Structure 1
Amino acid sequence: MTGTARPGGAARIAILVKGYPRLSETFIAQEILALERRGLPLDIWALRRPTDTLRHPMHDAIRAPVAYLPEYLREAPWRGLRALAWSLRRPGLARLLAVFWRDLRRDPTPNRGRRLGQALILARELPDAVAHLHVHFLHTPASVARYAALLTGRSWSFSAHAKDIWTTPAWELSEKMASASWGVTCTRDGLARLTECGAGRVSLAYHGLDLGRFPAPAARPPRDGRQAADPLRILSVGRLVAKKGFDDFIDALACLPRSLHWRASLIGGGDLREALAARVREAGLSERVTFLGARAQPDVIAAMREADLFVLPTKPAATGDRDGLPNVLMEAASQGLPIVATDFAGTPELIRNGTHGLLVPPGDVPALADAMARLAGDPEARRRLADAAYRRLAGEFTVERGIALMAARFGQAVGQDPGEAPGIPAQAPEAACACGS
């Protein structure tokens, strides 16, 4: 079932995500909004309901209807039983069960069975007009998409990002990629890993940034940390999880020269909040480091415009999890905020050391502290690096590069020529201060 309208309306695309909306996944919301503005009819399906109490303004601009699968099958037994009865009459069931059984033998976990149940519900409840499935993340969400596609005969595709690439077994990546019609991934680092696993129809598509939604970079005073009454303002943004390297950030702050006056803010929520707060107390930095919690994009952008230096020391987690190209680096660059980060994962694809920012080896606390101290005392170097990063962002990392590729693929899948959708105007730059990413 590909490329043609079904009874009940024009052909549509179902976008499957793990949770929606999520504060940490601005790149997904940005992509959905951009595809809608090209006239593609989308539905959103999520494996779980939102856990964030805040939303980005971008989520309110998206018009696609949202449906939720039960996160746990016990939450909706009748939906599961109806889907099972319906599936028993589908010609694709034998093909699905053969694939599922092969997966289960290699991954005999309750999670595997849960994904099958969610897939049966998704397959039964998808509107007839949906001709194609697209899933974000190649780990468990892609299992649901693949199983549902096998049962219904629909085509499916994927966007691979970071954790899914590095924590999914090679056999599973290989078989999912072979089953999909096509896929994209957002860094050369991730593409290399997928290529090792046999990727044949995967393209590089950076998320990029829609600069029309952001204010122009702000002029910054030349703070150098010499004045106690006007300390240097250091900012970091991200989920409080191991791969973001916030433990190294705190340790590096503790290593800064005693003569340097600074204050640091950390925006984000996550499981490591208490552990990181304890680390701050143990280092004697409680008066200088502030945890601001999770924030919507207007607050994040406002904080970036007030800061003097942005720091994000990502590194591999013990579980194998790692970042791709963090969107917050592009957002910092969009605000003319100088960057210190690590030479790791997708970061050097945007930031070239000494040209667009300073990069240090992941996990190297002394090098991180030295880079922060160097830029703290050199406002002119900060301005030069920030200007270069902004030019690189505007020239090579705009959202349209990736969206043009995906819109063309989706258009083929549903038999449409995706253009600008009438009646959905692009957001005016003046509104960007209230929107962010």
Structure 2
Amino acid sequence: MTPTAARLGVVVKGWPRLSETFIAQELVALEEVGIDFDIWSLRHPTDTKTHPLHDRLNAPVRYLPEYLKDEPLRVLRGVIAAITRPGFAAAWRAIRADYARERTPNRLRRFGQACVLSRELPAETLGLYAHFLHTPSSVARYAAILRGIPWSFSAHAKDIWTSPEWELREKLAAKSFGAAFGATCTGLGAKYLQSLADREDRVDLVYHGLDLNRFPAPPDRTARQAGDPIALMSVGRLVEKKGFDRLIAALALLPDELDWHWTHIGGGALKGEMQALAEHLGVADRITWRGACDQPEVIDAMRAADLFVLPSRVAEDGDRDGLPNVLMEAASQKLPILSTPVSAIPEFIDSGTHGILTDDAPESIAAEIQGMAADPTRGAKLADAAYDRLMSDFQMAPGIDHLAKRLRHMLDSGA
């Protein structure tokens, strides 16, 4: 009898999600290099659109109970099956220790989801891989302990900077059933997680990069002259860490003689608040709110724009961007970039070479927009340099090769 090929279980918070193109890109690439996996999502989708990338994925998608009360019989079967497993005692110790430090319904929900996952995983699943180091990794960790298989993670931004240190240490140490390995997409995040791990080599820096085969060649941008209208655009959720309130305040400071229009793409909880701010500051009639868009729509908008603006900042709860993929997407279309030196953004953009990084004060942002509007040749030079940097150091293939090697090794150890 031919042995069944080893499979990977991929745990994600929600699938599919327009704001997480980097996850879809990675999973499609892993499938194309021969990694077999199933997707296990903790939540059902809320976006009404999908990216073409989502349509390319062949992996089966399963949804765990989003709330345990919604599927009580399924959860009960998972718990009963978990109790009979050799790994139950260790998993129970882990959840008790975690719950003692975080007594929340969410913590218990993670364990219930893990019981369902451990029961329903195909027998050939020999390892788990979670996207995000907070909730998905907790579910993966508990399920892996129950099943006696290794687990791993990919960490990004909020999951690193808003998770308590004790929990990160637990997930990064072998003695507490930590991850076999972890990948993170910024040097800043890698350095921090390595400082918490029992071994530095437990965490790898793996930039997402871009699969440039999915993008058109950059357009000719030589037509715009100083004094012409300037088309500004941004892509990002309307949440605190993106800093769009500072950008709207900056737009209100631009001189009357500057002809500009700003297009925003993305959803987010603060949409009403941002629109109200624009109305209050008298700039609402020069703003287009496009809402959530698929990636072809985003790229089309980038090709029509003159300047990409992303005024990222650190939120009050510590949340911040990693290295936003939209910056690399803008670079792929030779769209000049104005951003801030937050988190890992300087890992891609050297200010004055590949784009402009300024502080997030509205006055500073407004001054840089005026400078870029007045000197289109400067923006073109910065965009050319960013495109060259993208081509040389931020393509997707090297990271996928490294990640696939790590995952295969983990599956072998799970066997």
Is the shorter-chain TM-score for this pair beyond 0.5, marking a shared fold? yes
Give the superposition deviation at 1:41. 0.6
Once the two structures are superposed, the pairs formed by residues 409-420 of structure 1 within 5 Å of their partners are: 409-415=406-412
- SS of residue paired to 1:135: strand
Q: Do the aligned partners of 2:226 and 2:376 also contact (CA within 8 Å) in 1?
A: no
Q: How does 1:13-32 map to 2 (within 5 A)?
A: 13-32=8-27
The residue aligned with 1:213 is 214
1:260 corresponds, among 245, 258, 261, to 258
What does 1:8-407 correspond to in 2, within 5 Å? 9-178=4-173, 179-198=178-197, 200=199, 201-224=202-225, 226-227=227-228, 231-361=229-359, 363-407=360-404
Aligned residue for 2:172, secondary structure, equals: helix
Q: Which runs of 5+ in 1 are unaligned?
A: 1-5, 417-437
Structure 1 residue 116: deviation in Å? 0.4
| CA drift at 1:222 | 3.9
The amino acid across from 2:279 in the alignment is R
Deviation at 1:191, TM superposition (A): 1.3
Alpha-carbon deviation of 1:255? 1.3
Q: Which residue number corresponds to residue 419 of structure 1?
A: none
Q: Read off the aligned partner of 1:327 and give its amino acid letter.
A: N
Query: TM (normalized to structure 2)?
Result: 0.96
Task: State the TM-score, normalized to the length of structure 1.
Answer: 0.91
- When the two chains are superposed, the root-mean-square deviation of aligned CA atoms in Å is 1.4
Identity of aligned residues (%): 53
1: CA distance between counterparts of 2:92 and 2:290? 48
Distance 2:411 2:101 in 1: 34
**1:414, distance to aligned residue in structure 2 (A):** 2.9
Aligned-partner Cα distance in 2 for 1:85–1:50: 29
Q: Deviations over 1:261-301 (max 9, x none)?
A: 11110000010000000011011112111111100111100
SS of 1:414's equivalent in the other structure is helix
Report the structure, 1 or 2, having the larger helix content: 2
Shift of 1:84: 1.2
Deviation of 1:177 (Å): 1.4
Which residues of structure 2 form unaligned runs of 5+? none
Cα contact 1:316–1:322 (8 A) shared by 2: yes
Deviation at 1:369, TM superposition (A): 1.2
Q: CA deviation at 1:197?
A: 2.1
How far apart, CA to CA, are the structure 2 residues paired with 1:258 and 1:190?
42
Match of 2:89, SS state, is: helix
CA separation of 1:394 and 1:344: change in aligned 2, threshold 3 A: same
| Structure 2 Cα separation of the partners of residues 373 and 195 of structure 1 | 41
